[in-house]
Structure formats: structure tokens, C-alpha cells
Amino acid sequence: MIKARVYVTLKKSVFDPQGKTIHDALQSLGYRGVADVRQGKFFEVAFEGLGGEEARAAAEEIARRVLSNPVIEGYRVEVEA
Amino acid sequence: MTVGVVVFPGSNSDHDAYHVLKHVCGQEARFVWHKDTDLSGLDAVVLPGGFAYGDYLRTGAIARFSPVMRAVGEFAEKGGPVLGICNGFQVLQEAGLLPGAMLRNRGLKFLSQPVHIRVERSDTPATAGLHEGTVLTMPIAHGEGNFYLPDEELDRLEGEGRVVFRYTTKEGHLEDAANVNGSSRAIAGVCNPARNVVGLMPHPERASEAEIGSADGRQIFEALVRVLQAV
């Protein structure tokens, strides 16, 4: 079983109201020195019957085509054997 | 003329759109299941509001892979009028048929309330025959309606006259408070470069009869009827 981890995050230029709300909450909880919070999505995709390279290519395509919206989001893929 | 109303699993305004087209505007209408790929005989297609496939991943993200969406893309390519309402608008964005993406509303709350939108262009199938500057009142009901495009693309969109509706006050003035979801440049509706595909976040089908509070939305369906009858 090969596992891919896909991180989908809003592009830097896109305002993240959820992250801002969490940031505000952290400040009101007394956490000092928190400069910014950005919320994103995390996916674990498990592959069966694929080789490492195939799994990586599939994970990249899934991340690009389905899991993220290129207008507002970027993604990062990590694959572990 | 016959208008198709696409039904995704999770559509919830399909019957409202059908009702307005058929019983208020007196046109032929038929439902098109999301697995259908045959749009022959249809003169226009409406993608209604709702939560297609639950919108669990992202609004419209899974719906755009529905079999019917390939057919909708071909229909649009040939110049057929396509109207996306709320979730239908989001699906058209995900499908690349309309620009932009919807962020969470700026206040993070799901908003269900009447809004005022100003008609910015009368050269689309959703606004033909309406005067630019006309203000229409109809409800919104969405959690993700905060229209986003990068600034330079917004400039291009505006330069091409593709902003069709904006959130304004009842009097038609742009005010931050009237732009309830925080949309870039108060954009409530846009069209594609060929101007035959239009999307808007508010729900004209929920405001097409005076008995339910406003009949302003009917003007959008009547515009569509006018365009089709003129063909």
C-alpha cells in the first residue's frame, strides 16, 4: 500500500476568513506571537497495485484535477511507500 | 421552446426553476438527470441551485465531472444559452465555463436573505431587454458566494463587460454593507466571453411570483424566453 498525502491550501493572495477567525481566537486565548494562521485541507490517499512512480503521478493528477481549484488553491503532494 | 433543468443528486431548486419556466413563464421545461448526455431538443439549459453531491469536497467540484456536464459544455460551445443559479453557477466555474471561484462568505456564515442586484449588462440571455441599472430583489442562500478572481483578471473581466450583476443597495448604489458575502467588486453574476453562459448567486426562481415576496426574478426567466423567441 502506497500512501500519498495531499495538502491543499489557499494561495497567498487569497484572503482566508477561516484562518483569520482562528487567528483572532488564538489571540483572545492569550497565545502571543502568532503572526498568521491559514487553514487548508489535508487528504491521505492510499493506493493499491500501483508502483511508486505510478502512484505519485496519480496522486499529482488527483490533487490538480479534483482536490484543488487552481483559481484559489495550490497543492503539495508527498508520497510514502 | 424547451428549457432543460439539470438535476444533480443534491439539487434543491430544480423544481422551483421548472415551476417558474413552465407555470409562470408558460414554456416547455423538462428535467435532465445528471447522468443524461443527450440535450437534443433543448433550446436552453438551467443549472439550478442546491448542494450537488453534497458539495463535500468543494462547491461544484464533483458535479462538474457528471456525464451531463460534457454535454452542457458542448451545448454552450455551440452558443446555446446556459444559466447557472447559485450552486449551478459554482458548477459552471468548476467546469471552466465561467470565470472565478467562490470563497467562503466573508463573515463565514451561511446567508439566507433578500439582496438587491443591479443589472450591469443587457446583452446576455439572462438580461436581454432589461435596462442596465435596473435593481432586482431576490434571495441568496449560500455559504460560499464570495466571488474571487485575482485583480488583473477582474480588470480584464470588467474590460470585456462580463460582469452581469452586482450587489447594490435598493437604490442601486454600491456599498460595502450591500455586498453581504464580500465578493470581489460586489460581483453577483458574470458571463463567458461568448456571453451565452451566465451564472448568478441569487435565486431568481425563488422570487418570481408576488405571492412569495418578489416577482423580480421572473424578469431573468422572461429575458431568457425573449432571447429564445427571437432566434
Separation of alpha carbons B135 and B169, rounded Å: 8
Topology (CATH) of B2-230? Rossmann fold (3.40.50)
pLDDT recorded at residue B230:
87
pLDDT in tens, B128-161: 999 999 999 999 999 999 999 999 999 999 999 9
Q: Give the three cell numbers for residue B86.
A: 447559485
For chains A and B, what is the number of CB pairs under 8 angstroms?
34
pLDDT per residue over B106-137, tens digit each? 999 999 999 999 999 999 999 999 999 999 99
pLDDT at B216 over 80: yes
User: Does A6 or A17 have the greater pLDDT score?
Assistant: A6
What is the pLDDT, as a whole number, of residue B13? 96
**What residues of chain A, 11 to 50, have a C-beta less than 8 Å from chain B?**
13-15, 17-18, 21
Let me know: does B113 contact B139? Beta carbons within 8 Å: yes
- The yes-or-no verdict on residue A36 having pLDDT over 90 is yes
- Encoded amino acid at B14, one letter: D
Q: How does residue B231 score in pLDDT terms, banded at 50, 70 and 90?
A: confident
Is residue A81 predicted with pLDDT exceeding 90?
A: no
In the numeric block, the cell 442586484 is attached to: B117
Mean pLDDT over B31-43 rounds to 96
Catalytic residue among B94, B120, B144, B205: B205
Q: Looking at the complex, does the CB of residue B66 fall below 8 Å from at least one CB of chain A?
A: no
**pTM of structure:** 0.95
The percent of residues in chain B predicted with pLDDT above 70, rounded, is: 100
Q: Which domains occur in chain A, in start order?
A: 2-80 (3.30.1280.10)
| Residues of chain B above pLDDT 90, percent | 97
**Active site annotation includes B23:** no
Catalytic residue among B86, B94, B191, B222: B86
Domain map (residue ranges) of chain B: 2-230
Mean pLDDT for the stretch of residues B38-51: 97
Q: Quick one: pLDDT band at residue B190, thresholds 50, 70, 90?
A: very high
B150 → closest Cβ in A13, A66, A69: A13
CA distance B37 to A69: 25
Gap from B102 CA to chain A (nearest CA, Å) = 9
Average pLDDT value over all residues in chain A: 95
Of A18, A21, A69, the CB nearest to B101: A69
List helix spans (H) across A13-51.
17-28
3-state DSSP assignment of residue A61 = helix
**Mean pLDDT across A37-62:** 96
Query: In this model, does residue A58 exceed pLDDT 80?
Result: yes
Task: Quote the mean pLDDT of chain B.
Answer: 97
Using a CB-CB distance cutoff of 8 angstroms, which residues of chain B are in contact with residue A75?
Answer: none
